[in-house]
Amino acid sequence: MNRGETHIVEPDLDGLVGSAVSSGRLRATQTPEEADAFLIAVPTPFKDSKQPDLIYIESAARAIAPKLRKGDLVILESTSPVGATEKLSGWLAEERPDLRFPRLGSTDPADIHLAYCPERVLPGSTVTELVKNDRVIGGMTPDCAARARALYQTFVRGECVLTDARTAEMTKLTENSFRDVNIAFANELSLICDELSINVWELITLANRHPRVNILKPGPGVGGHCIAVDPWFIVDSAPESARLIRTAREVNDGKPHWVLDKVAQAIEATRTRLGREVTVACLGLAFKPDIDDLRESPALEVAHAIIRAAKNEVLVVEPYIDALPPVLSTHDNAKLVGTDAALAQADLLVLLVDHAQFKTVDRERLAGKAIVDTRGAWA
């Protein structure tokens, strides 16, 4: 970072970081230093039981607490379950009993301003969306929210809308759960259409000609650090009421297993046709097109299962990485190759991510290949 370099594939990010470092406006440290404002943006995974794991937020709170001074601003940006900002306030108070921290809705004076403001960006457009998108800012008190808004208004061109911390937390969870439910509808349609011998891609195209219908495209599941995780935070908070949200998660979590069944069927049919073992190529590992982020990726899950079950070499194509991730590199039969090599050598192509370069493949190069297209890129 202090060399002005990043490891993330994101348009305009390298230039922005390089410029900020060279001008002295950005510096990375391994321990917190005194500042007027602290923004906490750390992972918020869930445990095996699907319960939120806030250990990284707690760790960040205890790390910055010794550096806090009266009048400082602390903002939590990590996507978090409802009540996380209040817990953050409690952890800070434990470390700094000499300071007064705000209580949600209280009018009592406080020494520290505390707010919640979730990021709202699309990977692949992060730099642009950090500036142009509206932001929801939830304060522990109205004064906390106003202080946080003053900071964001220095760079956000969208509207900064104020609310309380709990509503802001739920807003981010609602946004991602809405997406998850809609994706689950599309994924369930793909299962139904397969049973009824209907082309799901054509079906969705036709249905979307209705002026008030906008069905999303199905895929091999749902990935990423937000949509595949955040709905569980709502389910954990209200398990008896969040029935639709839970079901959507189960549908999307189950989709990779359905894809693997289709791949197994295709391998068996191709083996019978060729009279030998089948060379499989998995195209794409990222959780969405044209990025290098593999977090919670269903494509990676499917590729890993194929490699574990394969009797010979499996070709893996992911144009945005230079080496296989550890979960795959430990297998001797997994090989990272380019698109051209995969098209030349594979008997079965499993399209898992609709990267731009996959969608533009000459259809003549697919002739004679068995294909499992989970994204409809070649439909």
Query: In this structure, is residue 65 part of a structural domain?
Result: yes
> Is 232 within a domain?
no
Closest CA to 297 of 333, 331, 321: 321
Same domain, 140 and 274: no
**131 part of a folded domain:** yes
Write out the residue range of the structural domain in which residue 330 sits. 238-242+255-379
**Paired residues of 131 in beta bridges:** none
Q: Cα torsion at 216, 221, 224, 225 (round to 10°)? A: 110
Give mean pLDDT, residues 121-131: 90
| Domain end residue (candidates: 113, 136, 167) | 167
**Same-domain check for residues 130 and 262:** no
pLDDT tens by residue, 273-306: 999 999 999 999 999 999 999 999 999 999 999 9
Q: What is the CATH number of the domain that holds 276?
A: 3.40.50.720
Last residue of a domain, one of 105, 132, 167: 167
Residue 11, burial from CB neighbour count under 10 angstroms (0-12, 13-18, 19+)? middle
pLDDT-based confidence at 105, cuts 50/70/90?
confident
Tens digits of residue pLDDT in 45-104 = 989 899 999 999 999 999 999 999 999 999 999 999 999 999 999 999 999 999 999 999
* Residue 26 resides in a domain: yes
Task: Please give the pLDDT value at position 159.
Answer: 98
Give the contacts of 349 (CB within 8 A, at least 6 positions apart): 281, 283, 342, 343, 366, 369, 370, 371, 372
Identify the residue whose tokens are 């439910």: 181
Same domain, 153 and 272: no
Say whether both 268 and 131 belong to one domain: no
Predicted local distance difference test score (pLDDT) of residue 7: 84
**According to the model, what pLDDT value does residue 123 have?**
82
**Average confidence (pLDDT) over 243-262:** 98
Provide the pLDDT confidence category of residue 8 given band limits of 50, 70 and 90. Answer: confident
| pLDDT classification of 15: cutoffs 50, 70, 90 | very high
The domain tally of the chain equals: 2
For the cut 90, the answer to whether the pLDDT of residue 314 exceeds it is yes
Q: What is the mean pLDDT of residues 347-358?
A: 98
Residues 6+ apart with CB under 8 A from 8: 292
Q: Has residue 276 been placed in a domain? A: yes
Domain stop point among 142, 167, 192: 167
In a domain, 5, yes or no: no
Task: Give the pLDDT confidence score for residue 10 in this predicted structure.
Answer: 87
Asked if the model's pLDDT at residue 196 lies above 90, the reply is yes
Is 160 found in the same domain as 17? yes
Residue with tokens 């739920």: 170
Could you tell me if 126 and 269 lie in one domain? Answer: no
Starting at the edge strand found earlier in the chain, the sheet holding 135-139 runs: 37-40, 73-76, 113-116, 135-139, 160-164
pTM of the model: 0.91
Cα gap 173→48, rounded to integer Å: 19
Q: Do residue 266 and residue 134 come from a single domain?
A: no
For residue 79, the model assigns a pLDDT of 95
If asked whether residues 17 and 162 sit together in one domain, one would say yes
- Confirm whether 327 is domain-assigned: yes
**Active-site amino acid positions:** 172, 226
- For residue 34, being part of any structural domain is answered with yes
